[in-house]
Amino acid sequence: MILGQVALWLNLLTIAVLGLFVGIILVSAACLYASRHSLHLSASSRRLLLWSAVLLPWFAAFSAAVILAFPNLLGGVASLAHWHHINAFNLYSWHGVFTIAFLFLTGFLVFQSFKRVHRHLAQLRLLMQLCERDKSDQSIIQAQGSQAFTSGLLRPQGFYTSGLRDQLTAEEFEVVRLHEEAHAQKFDPLKKLIFALFASFFPTRLGNYLNRQMALCMEQRADAYAHRQGWSETFIAQTLLKVTRISNGLQPKERSSALVCYFALDQLDARIRYLLSDNKGRNLSPLLLAGLFVVLTGTCLVSVDALHHTVETLFSH
């Protein structure tokens, strides 16, 4: 039995883990509903909503943990939720087993991310040795394949094969360059990695869906950046189709990369429809996200308290 300050922190962690479990279930249900209904939001709003989907359960869980650990924060409604023996923790209870299992899962997922980063950086170092700088200071890979992509975490940059550059006009290559420049400026490869890590806590199919949607939003925002530099959306769409047509394609292993942003790979039809659409979708109100956070926190709070009491009646610890 652990007592005192250490026990308090361990109980806080247990409450947060239970809250995260409840939050992920609720957000997963909401995502499944949203995937079957068109919300018709702009790319920026969908990106914000996706980040909220993977991060709000964490914020809500830790908020619920603080409230349960310090019930006086609830004021007059403190009796609605509380945690017994907050200053005592038994590693051999269901509290301990549940928390240790979560820590092992988190460690495994973080380790997998570090493995991807290590492999990616090794490939990037090799790539830097193979590429050359052209007159416009672009990184050109001497290869017949037609590819353009952004790679790198802390110092991302665009890479282009000579086969792609030679088959595009100067105007088309400029569109491709601006698109990759947008990815580099926004550190999209790093953001994809972080998002994929949080999405990995969701069920596998849903996590993959969230990653695909985030990749689509990033590509649409990069397309919009090229448009803001003066190129028409029609010409951008034509360039995207041309690059796709002349490309030899990528291997399935490359397609699954969470650290690279390819110009003509992610959800071509959706990108072209978005480019040519006059209505880009509604913007999401920050007040709505604030409301979702309050609702999610309240639901986690009540659910964790109810779950705790239910398990307490079934198991002795």
* Residue-wise pLDDT tens digits, 137-166: 788 988 888 889 999 989 999 999 998 999
Residue 81 has a pLDDT of 54
Q: Within this chain, do residues 257 and 201 fall inside the same structural domain, yes or no?
A: yes
How far apart (Å, rounded) are the C-alpha atoms in residues 28 and 245?
A: 36
Residues 158 and 289 in one domain: no
Residue 113 included in any domain: no
Q: What is the pLDDT of residue 178?
A: 95
Same domain, 316 and 235: no
pLDDT of amino acid 131: 85
Note whether 137 and 263 are same-domain residues: yes
The pLDDT of 191-211, averaged and rounded, is 93
**For residue 181, what pLDDT band results from cuts at 50, 70 and 90?**
very high
Q: Which residues span the domain enclosing 186?
A: 133-283
- pLDDT value for 73: 61
Q: What is the 3-class SS of 252-267, one letter each residue?
A: HHHHCCCCEEECCCCC
Q: Which pLDDT score, from 0 to 100, does residue 65 have?
A: 80
Tell me, yes or no, whether 83 and 188 share the same domain. no
- Residue 251's pLDDT is 45
Does 6 have pLDDT greater than 70? yes
Alpha-carbon span 96 to 85, nearest angstrom = 14
The reply to whether 274 and 292 lie within a common domain is no
Residues 222 and 298 in one domain: no
C-beta separation of 201 from 101 below 8 A: no
pTM of the model: 0.86
Distance CA 232, CA 250 (A): 28
In this structure, is residue 198 part of a structural domain?
yes
CA 163 to each of CA 13, 140, 148, 157, 247: distance values in angstroms, whole numbers, following the listed order: 53, 10, 10, 19, 9
Contact yes or no for 272/235 (Cβ under 8 A) = no
Please check the confidence at residue 77 and state whether its pLDDT lies above 80.
no
From residue 147, give the alpha-carbon distance in Å to each of 93, 141, 142, 262, 275. 55, 9, 11, 8, 21
Residue 114 in any domain: the answer is no
What pLDDT was estimated at residue 254? 45
Q: Are residues 219 and 296 located together in one domain of the fold?
A: no
Same domain, 296 and 276: no
122, part of any domain: no
Measured at the CA of 56, the angle between CA 51 and CA 61, to 5 degrees, comes to 150
For 274-294, what is the mean pLDDT? 87
Q: Is the pLDDT of residue 252 over 60?
A: no
Q: Which of 139-143, 174-178, 203-207 has the lowest mean pLDDT?
A: 139-143
C-alpha to C-alpha distance for 39 and 22, rounded to whole angstroms:
24
Whether 212 maps to a domain, the answer reads yes
Provide the 8-state DSSP code for 41: B
pLDDT tens digits, one per residue of 81-117: 555 566 666 666 666 777 888 899 999 999 999 999 9
Kindly state the average pLDDT of the residues 182-206. 94
Verify that 138 and 266 share a domain, yes or no.
yes
187 Rama sector, left if φ>0, alpha if ψ -120 to 50, beta otherwise:
left
Answer yes or no: is 209 within a domain. Answer: yes
Asked whether residue 117 is domain-assigned, the answer is no
User: Residue 169 in contact with residue 189, Cβ under 8 Å?
Assistant: no
Say if residues 119 and 111 touch (Cβ distance below 8 Å).
no
How large a percentage of the chain has pLDDT more than 70?
Answer: 81
Q: Do residue 211 and residue 315 come from a single domain?
A: no
Total count of domains within the chain: 2
pLDDT at 253 exceeding the cut of 50: no
Element (H, E) at 109: helix 94-130
Mapped onto helix, strand or coil, the DSSP state of residue 3 is strand
pLDDT of amino acid 262: 80
Greater pLDDT, 38 or 181: 181
In the predicted model, what is the mean pLDDT of residues 247-254?
A: 52
Is residue 4's pLDDT more than 70? no
Q: Are residues 153 and 266 in the same domain?
A: yes
pLDDT greater than 50 at residue 248? yes
Q: How confident is the model at residue 256 (pLDDT cuts 50, 70, 90)?
A: very low
User: What are the pLDDT digits (tens) for 289-311?
Assistant: 888 888 888 888 777 766 665 66
